[in-house]
Amino acid sequence: MRYWREAFDFHSGAYRLDYWWVSAINTLILASILFVSIVCLNSWTLASKLTKTFSLLVAIPNLSLFVRRLRDTGFPPQTVMFVLLSPTLLGVSVGLIAMFHLIVLLPVAPLIYIGWIIFLLSRRSAYWTPSLNKMQKLYFVAGFFIILSVSSCFYAITMKHTAQTTQNYIGQLLHERHTSNQKNAKLSEYDITKNKSSYSSSDIATASAENKPESIPEKDVANVSDDSSTTAYRGLSENTLGDSDFGYFKVRGVWKQDTTSLQWWQSQQNVMISTSTVGQGWGVDFPSFNFKKIEGQSHFSLNQLGNIQVTRIDGSYRDVASDNMKSMAYLEWHMPDGHIRLMYLISPSRALLNLIIKTFSETFQII
């Protein structure tokens, strides 16, 4: 209580025992805050808020205690003021050391400064020091030992937990990146293999016939009830894909773009979108992705671009990486300036594919 009563007292004195005892208690409180917040509750936000609050509460009382301790050693006000401004001198010293490239001395200067401050705070009182009997000294020694031991344990456990959490987070990021690279590599390898095989002598005639738009039957898109992946997709936050060249449209969830293929990938529902602004269209260009089976074609409008008509071709696609059949749609339309736009969408769910295309038709725009 005396610590708080004298919070704004900058004129009295403070004994060595008073200063170091309060410092030890504050260290224990701070260590406890970090231990409970980070290790027990696993909340970095709570740890940050509590640490800032505690630091603000003890800032002025600690400053006044620091000044009283220096005054108790017999320093005049001018010397106390010099000590208070000494961090500025430390900054200047570090700057000079860096300027002259004396890198070896960089860790030495702060250590010398800290040692000097500890020496000043540990000086005996210039006026009077209370005498303690052996039992009182023993109590204080035991108290310091217990407080510092508990604080050290809390700090060590917190640092270990922090290091482990950081390592796990970095490992997770590296794993996700590795998995994404593997998927993209397998997808690219599959495309190359299919592209080569599609030119085999036994398939040229069939492929040419199937690639003609008039050979694909008209078939309306059937309404499919939401499955679990579609329901989960609806609950994700809204996002925007595209660029100034292709255009922009709304999706949901977090999408990542491969810098090589420029394909968009959503790992939560395992959905892929590929866009293009070059080519001459279906039946003329070599396809980016090959249908395993074409089911039919339909048409819809882009609501925000004056009802531009989009041709949609639906079918199935075999994923070589998982050997699973997925739903695929090919979209093609021409902008008012005559430039073509192409899009491939691959999804394990037909209902999810329909939802993404429906959102695309309602939100696609050129900015």
Q: Which of the four pLDDT bands, split at 50, 70 and 90, describes residue 281? A: confident
Domain contains 123: no
Mean pLDDT, residues 272-301 taken together: 84
Note the pLDDT of residue 188: 54
Q: In terms of domains, do 232 and 285 share one?
A: yes
- Greater model confidence, 90 or 153: 153
Would you say residue 199 has pLDDT above 80? no
Would you say residue 208 has pLDDT above 80? no
CATH, residue 221: 3.40.1000
Instruction: Determine contact, residues 328/291, Cβ cutoff 8 Å.
Output: yes
The model carries a pTM of 0.49
Q: In terms of domains, do 241 and 144 share one?
A: no
Q: In terms of domains, do 281 and 152 share one?
A: no
Q: What's the rounded Cα separation, in Å, for the pair 363 and 365?
A: 6
Domain contains 342: yes
Mean pLDDT, residues 269-293 taken together: 82
Q: In terms of domains, do 150 and 229 share one?
A: no
Residues 28-76 have pLDDT tens digits of: 999 999 999 999 998 889 999 999 999 999 999 999 999 999 999 999 9
Note the pLDDT of residue 180: 60
Domain contains 101: no
Domain of 152, in residue numbers: 2-73+135-169
Q: Which of the four pLDDT bands, split at 50, 70 and 90, describes residue 178? A: low
Would you say residue 125 has pLDDT above 80? yes
Mean pLDDT, residues 319-343 taken together: 87
Q: In terms of domains, do 36 and 165 share one?
A: yes
Would you say residue 128 has pLDDT above 90? no
Mean pLDDT, residues 308-332 taken together: 88
- Greater model confidence, 239 or 179: 239
Domain contains 194: no
Q: In terms of domains, do 40 and 164 share one?
A: yes
Q: In terms of domains, do 215 and 318 share one?
A: yes
- How many C-beta atoms lie closer than 10 Å to residue 292's C-beta? 13
Domain contains 263: yes
Would you say residue 83 has pLDDT above 50? yes
**Helices (H) then strands (E): counts for the chain:** 10, 9
Q: In terms of domains, do 160 and 238 share one?
A: no
Residues 2-30 have pLDDT tens digits of: 889 898 999 888 989 999 999 999 999 99
Choosing from 169, 184, 218, the residue where a domain stops is 169
Note the pLDDT of residue 288: 74
Domain contains 13: yes
Instruction: Determine contact, residues 106/96, Cβ cutoff 8 Å.
Output: no
Indicate left, alpha or beta for 247 from its phi (over 0: left) and psi (-120 to 50: alpha): left
Would you say residue 260 has pLDDT above 60? yes
Note the pLDDT of residue 227: 92
Q: In terms of domains, do 299 and 215 share one?
A: yes
Nearest Cα neighbor of 266 from 180, 187, 351, 344 is 180
Q: What are phi and psi of 331, to 5 degrees?
A: -115, 140
Q: In terms of domains, do 316 and 227 share one?
A: yes
Amino acid found at 146: I
The total of structural domains in the chain comes to 2
Q: In terms of domains, do 42 and 151 share one?
A: yes
Choosing from 118, 151, 169, the residue where a domain stops is 169
Indicate left, alpha or beta for 281 from its phi (over 0: left) and psi (-120 to 50: alpha): left
Would you say residue 101 has pLDDT above 90? no
Mean pLDDT, residues 173-187 taken together: 62
Domain contains 99: no
Domain contains 119: no
Q: In terms of domains, do 243 and 357 share one?
A: yes
